[in-house]
Chain A
Amino acid sequence: DARVTQTPRHKVTEMGQEVTMRCQPILGHNTVFWYRQTMMQGLELLAYFRNRAPLDDSGMPKDRFSAEMPDATLATLKIQPSEPRDSAVYFCASGPEGTSYEQYFGPGTRLTVT
């Protein structure tokens, strides 16, 4: 049963520290999304990749966030420096490009910045 995996599942860090979150999309999926979910803002799209190329990162604070896909099996989301307002659950999702464009979500990384 193919799944999107994310590491770490939980991260507690101090303000100012660098945070790196990793995602392994489902093999064969060529779209990858990063979302942030909070109670206040709900689900927000941070970044979107197709065939490893970043196509949309308009939802991402550029001064501190960066997203990359060094290869087809790994997507990363970095925050440097982290701030308490970055505390949220970060989800990665992948999907096959084709007829229906559904997404498969990973379990998420719960980030707490103190």
Chain B
Amino acid sequence: AQSVSQHNHHVILSEAASLELGCNYSYGGTVNLFWYVQYPGQHLQLLLKYFSGDPLVKGIKGFEAEFIKSKFSFNLRKPSVQWSDTAEYFCAVIFLGGSYIPTFGRGTSLIVHP
């Protein structure tokens, strides 16, 4: 079955530290890739997406992600985190040619200490 893995379940950082959250998926075909963010008590919001073109994608709030097809990965990065980045981060993959229902990872909880 197609799956999405987020290896880091909980990440704790200090402000200004660099961030990288891992996301891997299990499918070798064509995919659309997403990172969503859920701030405490709020709903999921789209952070960035990749569906074609430049594999380095820039999103809102200084986040970026790189699609590495050979590694089936779509890691999320931010060079310098802020306290306001404290949130849950979800990676999602749509396996094109299938049902077009996104498969979500379990999420990574990020806490940034001021």
Contacts and interface: CB of A to CB of B under 8 A. Distances in A.
Interface of A: 31, 33, 42-43, 45, 48, 55-56, 91, 93, 97, 99-108
7 contacts: A45-B101, A97-B100, A99-B51, A101-B94, A101-B100, A103-B34, A103-B92
B45 interface: yes
A104 B46 CA distance: 7
Contacts of A55: 99
B22 to A, nearest CB: 17
Contacts of A107: 42-43
A100 B43 contact: no
A99 B36 CA distance: 18
Contact of A43 (B34, B45, B101, B104): B104
Contacts of B32: 100-101
B51 A100 contact: yes
A33 B92 CA distance: 14
A48 B66 CA distance: 29
Interface string B78-99: 0000000000001010100001
Given A43-B44, A101-B94, A105-B43, 18 more contacts: A33-B101, A42-B107, A43-B90, A48-B101, A55-B99, A91-B43, A93-B44, A99-B51, A100-B51, A101-B32, A101-B100, A102-B34, A103-B34, A103-B36, A103-B102, A104-B46, A105-B44, A107-B42
Please indicate which of the listed interface residues A43, A103, A108 has the most CB atoms of chain B within 10 Å of its own CB: A43
Nearest to B51: A100
B104 to A, nearest CB: 5
A55 B42 CA distance: 27
Contacts of A106: 43
